[in-house]
Amino acid sequence: MNNKARKYIEKFQLKAHPEGGYYREVFRAEEIILADHLPQRYKTARNYTTSIYFLLEGKQVSNFHRLKSDEQWHFYDGSSIVIYVIEEGGNLNKILLGRNIEKGESLQTVIKHNSWFGAELLDKTSFALIGCTVSPGFDYNDFELGKRTMLLNEYPNYEYIITKLTV
């Protein structure tokens, strides 16, 4: 494991994430939005916002998943990453997250709700530390991990990346 990645994991007390990599929640707004004031896709109240540290190391990937909320990714340290996004309409986009803005990378990006998305490091010998902010706040009831067979049936043209970012 990369030494700097190990230090971040220990310092921030990161634990294994169900989609891959490591994470720890660092903020959950105390204030609540009642379900009656949210779009119908939410069945219960949500915190205004939540945020986590998220770390990928080496050949780890963030497997395809989707949320009912928009999620903003912020780049902090390490290797640039590529985020693959299958939008609701079926288009596949690649977003480069990192510091090299001359090569089209961004320091932050937003993944729209109901999009399938996953990520991998560009440099498999490194790591990436990012932050993720979800609004309305994250709730595991809003998280769906992509199933390879279902995604391949729905998006057969993206077989390579779906196979790579699902189990």
CATH code, 25:
2.60.120.10
- Say how many domains are in the chain: 1
Tell me the percentage of the chain whose pLDDT exceeds 90: 95
Exposed, middle or buried, 152 (CB in 10 Å: 0-12/13-18/19+)?
A: middle
Pick the closest to residue 70 from 96, 104, 108, 44 (CA basis): 108
Mean pLDDT value across the chain = 96
Range of the domain at 80: 3-164
The pLDDT of residue 41? 94
- Encoded amino acid at 145, one letter: L
- Read off the pLDDT of each residue in 55-79 and give the average, rounded to a whole number: 97
The pLDDT of residue 167? 86
Is beta strand 22-28 parallel, antiparallel or unpaired with respect to 15-16? antiparallel
Of the pLDDT bands very low, low, confident and very high (cuts 50, 70, 90), residue 56 is very high
Q: How far apart are CA 82 and CA 71, in angstroms?
A: 15
pTM above 0.75?
A: yes
Of the pLDDT bands very low, low, confident and very high (cuts 50, 70, 90), residue 2 is confident
For residue range 91-148, what is the model confidence (pLDDT) as tens digits? 999 999 999 999 999 999 999 999 999 999 999 999 999 999 999 999 999 999 999 9
Cis peptide leading into residue 39 (ω within 30°): no
DSSP state of 106: B
Side by side, which strands form the sheet with 22-28? 15-16, 22-28, 50-57, 127-135, 70-78, 108-111
